[in-house]
Amino acid sequence: MNALNSLLDGFGTALTPVNLLWAALGVLLGTAIGVLPGIGPAMAVALLLPVTYGLDPTGAFIMFAGIYYGAMFGGSTTSILLNTPGESAAVVAAMEGNPMAKAGRGAQALAAAAIGHFAGGMIGTTLLVALAPTVADLAVDIGAPDYFAIMVLAFIAVTSVLGSSRIRGLASLLIGLTLGLVGLDQMTGQQRLTFGSLQLADGIDVVIVAVGLFAIGEALWVAAHLRRTTGEAIPVGRPWLGRGDVKRTWKSWLRGPFIGFPFGAIPAGGAEIPTFLSYVTEKRLSRHKDEFGKGAIEGVAGPEAAASASAAGTLVSMLTLGLPTTAVAAVMLAAFQQYGIQPGPLLFEREPDLVWGLIASLFVGMVLLLALNLPLAPVWAKLLRIPRPYLYAGILFFAALGAYAVGGEVIDLVILLIIGLIGFGMRRYGLPVLPAVIGVILGPAAEQQLRRALQISDGSVTGLVDTPFSVTVYAVVVLLLAWPLVRKPVMRGRGRTTRT
């Protein structure tokens, strides 16, 4: 059991006092930021990036793992107590959790969510330990054409699976690819889109793009449409569960992760689909079907476990292939690039301490999350009452701090604002933000792999499809592209037309 030995070494790294401190700090910060209304996990992780700049990579990623899970848990607290889900994955938590809170069972809803996150994280991370080294071993032999194929798949998946308008998804992707082109060409040193500016020759930092699109864009967008009357958060005591509740939910906690994990690993929108599938499953299997919609505890427990496990699934493709399948994973990939580390099959060979320390700290973070969040829930609930002007002023403040900390350049703040305004416009006209971020992060890498592959094949395009792996990936791409054409007649048969 090679993976088990490596994992034990990982625990050796994760359980040193300093790293434990980073993990605890990450969980607390992640939950605190994630609870704040209007801040989803992706923005939380982007805003907290600068916190890790001064740390060594291992400490930074241990802290990051805590932030990731903490932010996801914080988000479900918001939707249960405020009924205003910040992101699509939390919609399901609001569907049953909020009626429970209204009926005075908020403490039970939060406990079901917290334990669901714990169960999902534990099972998901165990599956990650079992699968990731195998995937990395299989992927270690793949070459430039295969990498290029995977990245094409990521581009197509992010524009056609997510969101509902392909044209707008593609427009967003192309904006991202354009931003990624700025700077010196990696292979020849040729200046591209720099307009003679020295600052632009270094390229636009991905962190600035992510913070600009996620944080500044969102803050400006909300500012233009700020709701003058905000919803009232329901006060809540310390979460606990009675024996009857545990009896109803333990199966849901165990079922959810197996629905969530596989969806996290493929580029299909992260936790959105599995939480919904888990909800439907719980509804079908429950003996209390009549309670669904009015506050059925299984409807909180299952989907929350699924969401948490899908986060672990996301890490499989992020760590072994360097393929981000969600917005949070995209921001984490940007963080890896900050340290000059390229996630991919070789990561497990080159940086075993870091990878296994990170995976072990996922387990540690999960325990900390449960231990800290159950007693602290009433405190988190108070955060929901923060006045909105302070909340969005704070987002702008920390976004500026993060962008300035990247390189200490004022020009970065101006670029941040411009990208934020682009993000504002994208929100106004329904252009999804994620394809742009994926384009900036993967675009330069995809170009490099493409050129490498064509160099090997001496310019022949067949060099891109000369391995079984790449052919398989392109087949999946074709399927994704053909799907609407197949779906169209079906939908029309139902008397509804959907375009693009």
Partner 1 sequence: MTTRNDLTPGTEASTGRPSWQRWLREHSELGVSVLLLLLGVLVLTDALTMDVDIAQRGPVGPRTVPIVVGAGLLVIAALLAVDVLRGGRGEAEAGEDVDLSEPADWRTVLLLTGVFLGAAVLIEPLGFPVAGALLFWGAAYALGSRRPDRDPLIAAVLSLVAYLVFNNLLGVPLPGGPLMGVL
From the CB of 125, what's the least distance to partner 1, in Å? 27
From the CB of 22, what's the least distance to partner 1, in Å? 11
Compare residues 333 and 399 and give the one whose CB is closer to partner 1: 399
Positions in 435-494 near partner 1 (CB under 8 A):
447, 450-452, 454-455, 458-459
Binding segment (CB under 8 A) for partner 1, from list 126-134, 137-145, 211-219, 283-291: 211-219
Report whether 249 contacts 301 (CB < 8 A).
yes
Residue 116 binds partner 1 (CB under 8 A): no
Compare residues 250 and 390 and give the one whose CB is closer to partner 1: 390
Q: Considering only CA atoms, which of 89, 158, 168, 163 is closest in space to residue 480?
A: 158
From the CB of 259, what's the least distance to partner 1, in Å? 25
Q: Considering only CA atoms, which of 450, 457, 447, 461 is closest in space to residue 185?
A: 447
Tell me the C-alpha distance between 362 and 372, whole Å. Answer: 15
Among 28, 32, 48, 51, binds partner 1 (CB under 8 A): 51
Binding segment (CB under 8 A) for partner 1, from list 95-103, 218-226, 270-278, 333-341: 218-226
Residue 495 binds partner 1 (CB under 8 A): no
From the CB of 212, what's the least distance to partner 1, in Å? 11
Among 385, 428, 487, 488, binds partner 1 (CB under 8 A): 428
Token reading at 378: 């009433």
CA 398 from chain centre, in angstroms, equals 20
CA 302 from chain centre, in angstroms, equals 19
Among 3, 131, 161, 193, binds partner 1 (CB under 8 A): 193
Phi and psi for 184 in degrees, rounded to 5? Answer: -80, 135
Compare residues 131 and 184 and give the one whose CB is closer to partner 1: 184
Q: Considering only CA atoms, which of 355, 359, 240, 352 is closest in space to residue 311?
A: 359
Dihedral-angle region of residue 431 (phi above 0 means left; psi in -120 to 50 means alpha; beta otherwise): beta
Compare residues 38 and 262 and give the one whose CB is closer to partner 1: 38
> Site mask, partner 1, residues 365-404, x = CB under 8 A?
----------------------xxxx-xxx-xxx-xx--x
Among 78, 308, 314, 320, binds partner 1 (CB under 8 A): 78
Cβ-count burial of 498 within 10 angstroms (0-12 exposed, 13-18 middle, 19+ buried)?
A: exposed
From the CB of 213, what's the least distance to partner 1, in Å? 12
Using CB under 8 A, count the residues that bind partner 1: 80
> Site mask, partner 1, residues 225-264, x = CB under 8 A?
xxxx-x----------------------------------
Tell me the C-alpha distance between 417 and 42, whole Å. Answer: 18
Pairing of the two strands 183-184 and 191-192: antiparallel
Residue 187 binds partner 1 (CB under 8 A): yes
Binding segment (CB under 8 A) for partner 1, from list 27-35, 111-119, 123-131, 165-173: 165-173
Report whether 425 contacts 414 (CB < 8 A).
no
Phi and psi for 183 in degrees, rounded to 5? Answer: 120, -165
Q: Which residue has the tokens 């939060």?
A: 110
Q: Considering only CA atoms, which of 381, 313, 289, 376 is closest in space to residue 76?
A: 381
Phi and psi for 192 in degrees, rounded to 5? Answer: -130, 130
From the CB of 432, what's the least distance to partner 1, in Å? 9
Token reading at 191: 């200046």
Our CA dihedral for 307, 313, 319, 323, rounded to 10 degrees, sits at: -90
From the CB of 129, what's the least distance to partner 1, in Å? 30
- Secondary element (H or E) of residue 191: strand 191-192
Among 46, 331, 431, 477, binds partner 1 (CB under 8 A): 431
Amino acid at 270: G
Positions in 82-101 near partner 1 (CB under 8 A):
82, 84-86
From the CB of 280, what's the least distance to partner 1, in Å? 22
Residue 147 binds partner 1 (CB under 8 A): no
